[in-house]
């Protein structure tokens, strides 16, 4: 109970927001959560590609693509945050001991995945360099993609590893048969 007393009004509002149940049908099953994470990854890749199109390719139309992707990306982020009950968004004092342990596990797994992703990026860039591609031109794009993946990987891992909510006890109650 001492932990409850330390919560600020911001902490209480954020915890209430992250535990709302209106969106639960969107993330109730593992398959739905995987689909949302997959959509979020696809939207993130498309947004990064569009942004690179504005910076590197100097294509003005890519700005409109980025703006069009922003709302669905935000919705998918909100669904993942709802599925994880705000595991990565809430302050540590707003989480219980189990949630803090889960947050640590998610971050450790995301770190492992990022290590392998960075190794693949280094190897891919090295192979491209040996194949005669000018890797100096790739450095910015690869670095940006690695940054975005590093930023979003904990969210994706949390969405993929979130567990189903336990069934409500009232749903499992079976009335005794009349004799």
> What's the domain range around 38?
2-163
30 found inside a domain = yes
Q: How many domains does the chain have?
A: 1
Among the listed residues 44, 78, 15, 36, the one whose alpha carbon sits nearest the alpha carbon of residue 151 = 44
Q: What is the pTM of this model?
A: 0.84
Backbone angles phi, psi at 96, to 5 degrees: -85, 180
113 found inside a domain = yes
Q: What percent of the chain has pLDDT over 90?
A: 69
Q: Which residues of the chain have pLDDT under 50?
A: 1-2, 170-171, 179
In our burial notation (b when 16+ CB lie closer than 10 A, e otherwise), range 14-36 reads bbeebeeeeeeebbeeeeebeeb
Residue keyed to tokens 């006890």: 169
175 found inside a domain = no
Sequence-ordered list of residues with C-beta below 8 angstroms from that of 104, at least 6 positions apart, any chain: none
96 found inside a domain = yes
168 found inside a domain = no
173 found inside a domain = no
Do residues 167 and 70 lie in contact, with contact meaning Cβ atoms separated by under 8 Å?
no
Among the listed residues 7, 71, 64, 45, the one whose alpha carbon sits nearest the alpha carbon of residue 156 = 45
6-19 tens-digit pLDDT? 889 999 999 999 98
- DSSP track, the chain: -HHHHH--HHHHHHHHHHT--TTHHHHSSHHHHHHHHHHHHHHHHHHHHHHHHHHTS--THHHHHHHHHHHHHHHHHHHHHHHTTTTTTS-GGGS-HHHHHHHHHHHHHHHHHHHHHHHHHHHHHHHHHHTT--THHHHHHHHHHHHHHHHHHHHHHHHHHPPPPPPPHHHH--PPPP-
176 found inside a domain = no
67-94 tens-digit pLDDT? 999 999 999 999 999 999 999 999 999 9
Q: Which two tokens stand for residue 70?
A: 């922003």
62 found inside a domain = yes
């Amino acid at each position: 109970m001492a932990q409850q007393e330390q919560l600020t009004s911001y902490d209480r509002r954020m915890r209430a927001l992250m535990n709302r149940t209106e969106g639960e049908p969107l993330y109730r099953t593992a398959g739905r959560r995987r689909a949302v994470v997959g959509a979020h990854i696809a939207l993130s890749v498309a947004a990064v590609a569009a942004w690179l199109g504005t910076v590197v390719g100097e294509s003005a139309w890519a700005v409109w693509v980025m703006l069009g992707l922003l709302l669905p990306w935000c919705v998918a982020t909100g669904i993942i945050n709802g599925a994880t009950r705000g595991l990565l968004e809430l302050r540590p004092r707003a989480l219980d001991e189990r949630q803090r342990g889960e947050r640590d596990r998610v971050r450790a797994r995301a770190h492992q995945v990022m290590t392998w992703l960075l190794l693949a990026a280094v190897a891919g860039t090295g192979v491209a360099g040996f194949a005669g591609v000018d890797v100096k031109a790739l450095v910015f794009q690869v670095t940006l993609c690695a940054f975005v993946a590093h930023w979003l990987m904990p969210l994706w891992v949390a969405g993929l590893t979130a567990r189903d909510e336990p069934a409500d006890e009232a749903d499992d109650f079976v009335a005794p048969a009349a004799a």
